[in-house]
Amino acid sequence: MVGELIAGRYEVEKLVGSGGMSNVFRAHDRMLERTVALKILHEQYTRDADYVERFRREARSVAQLTHPNIVTVIDRGEQDGRQFIVFEYVEGDNLKDLVNRGPLPVRDAIQLALQVARALAFAHDRGLVHRDVKPQNVLLNDDGQAKVTDFGIARSLDVDGVTQTGTVLGTSDYIAPEQARGQKVNPKTDIYSLGVVLYELLTGQVPFAGDNFVAVAMRHVNEPAPSVLERRSDVPVRLDLVIQRAMAKDPADRFESMDELVAELEACLAEVDGGSDEGATMIVPPARRARRAGPRRQWRFPVLPLLVALAAVVVGVGTYLLLRDGGGGGGVLLPGSAASSKPVQLLGTAGYDPQGNNLDEHTDDAHLATDGNEGTAWKTESYQAGGFAKDGVGLVLQAPRRLALSRLTVLGGGTLFSAVIQASDSPSGGFVDVSTRKDVSGTTTFSVDTHGKDYAYYSVWLKLPTGQGQALIYEVKART
């Protein structure tokens, strides 16, 4: 085709890309004297009405999207039965070319993911899901600006297109579980795929590899997302949590929207630029309750699957952060040292009842104790007189990194209760007391003494001394 003149206007110069449905050529627009990208549908598909309609729909879909991070559609047409679309020409690599040269610096990876997320949020707001988010479909211009392209299998959210439920489209390395099953897709499908892309930008590898499309797709369906920290310890814990949530198997457990993911990535970028994650508040989804058929003598805490994954690597992360933040030189920080005390944002991740049938104590509400809103609360069950024959129940709190707290303040309510602060390196057990027990009514501050040891998890272990009522924790605040 090189040298041909398409539509009396576009002179084909060079093949620059090829895909399953089409080839992309660099071409010269004789009318406007500029370089353009010319996408031409493969000849074998021109006789298939469904493929032709999908190709036409791409042009109509992207023509609605005027955004700095989306490749612009210039023209669409047909010549000698061949369907073509004309796009702006982006000189430079695609994101896959970039990551093939090695993992990106954390800041660069976040910035690129943010540009893609903003583009997709814009498309979602206009009723379009991309459905094939991958590094190959993100072009980079000479200024390093990302531009999303290839909306070839994009689908309108409010119109039944030619691609129906039961049809699997997409690229297996980045495919969402529901997409692999041939189920209906929505904007959360793009959230999952972008989570995979961000994982690859940071590690240089896709999370799930396999010998063929089906093998990889089934791993996306069945296996939990691996932690980025297992391959790269300098990635902030908060960013790892973002990827874990974006790649949740159940769409309901992912970010509510691409806009919400954008907000969280912006917060991660601000922390990286500021060199600190202290005081940060992550958008945390309500955790699901752990379910159990019956009691067991050896108990454990119900926690989010992503926290279990993090537990295996938290010691290594903590060691890195300790060294990064000055572990090699400045002496020992004594508990309660006013000069060095700093606020720490904890995340409520689980409520536990080790002697209950399902080991759970309102885990769904655990995040309310750290959401910054004193009008919301994590609460215990309502116990009747004589019915609280238990050692206690507790609230698990995750620190942004392994650290030693000096103070922890509990804003309590409901029935008067007593509590002690505990700490552990794991969310699933091994908690030890790091404070004395106090009665909690209103605002109560505990002095915490970890004996110089850093911990990744803390808990408020409480008991209703009267054996009845319901305890509430409206907010937990902490300082190093």
Residue 194 lies in a domain: yes
Q: Assess if residue 328 is contained within a domain.
A: no
Catalytic residue among 29, 125, 132, 277: 132
- For residue 421, give its domain range: 334-479
**Alpha carbon distance 462, 416 (integer Å):** 10
- Please say if 325 is a catalytic residue: no
| C-alpha atoms less than 13 angstroms from C-alpha of 159 in its C-beta half-sphere | 11
- CATH number, position 145: 1.10.510.10
How many Å apart are CA 279 and CA 399, to the nearest integer?
11
In a domain, 286, yes or no: no
Same domain, 251 and 359: no
Q: Does some domain include residue 307?
A: no
Helices (H), 143-257: 177-180, 187-203, 213-222, 237-246
> What CATH code is carried by the domain that includes residue 354?
2.60.120.260
The CATH number of residue 37's host domain is: 3.30.200.20
Q: What is the length of the chain?
A: 480
Residues 341, 459: one domain?
Answer: yes
- Residue 319 forms part of a structural domain: no
Contact (CB, 8 A) for 361 and 394: yes
Q: Are residues 16 and 105 in the same domain?
A: no
| Domain stops at, among 88, 116, 138 | 88
Is the CB of residue 174 less than 8 Å from the CB of residue 185? no
Domain count, the chain: 3
Spatial neighbors of 86 by CB under 8 A, at least 6 apart, are 10, 27, 29, 36, 37, 38, 39, 73, 74, 75, 76, 77
**Do residue 401 and residue 350 come from a single domain?**
yes
Verify that 131 and 13 share a domain, yes or no.
no
Return per-residue pLDDT of the chain as tens, 480 residues. 788 898 899 999 999 887 767 788 999 999 989 999 998 888 777 777 777 777 777 677 777 778 889 988 888 888 887 888 898 898 888 999 999 999 999 999 999 999 999 999 999 998 888 888 999 999 998 888 999 987 754 443 333 333 333 333 446 899 999 988 888 889 999 999 999 999 999 999 999 988 888 888 889 999 999 999 999 999 999 999 999 999 999 999 999 999 999 999 999 999 998 854 444 445 445 444 333 333 333 333 443 333 333 343 333 434 333 333 333 333 333 333 334 578 888 988 888 888 777 788 888 888 889 888 888 899 988 876 555 457 788 999 988 888 999 999 999 988 888 999 999 988 877 899 999 999 997 899 999 999 999 999 999 999 876 667 888 999 999 999
Same domain, residue pair 348 and 466: yes
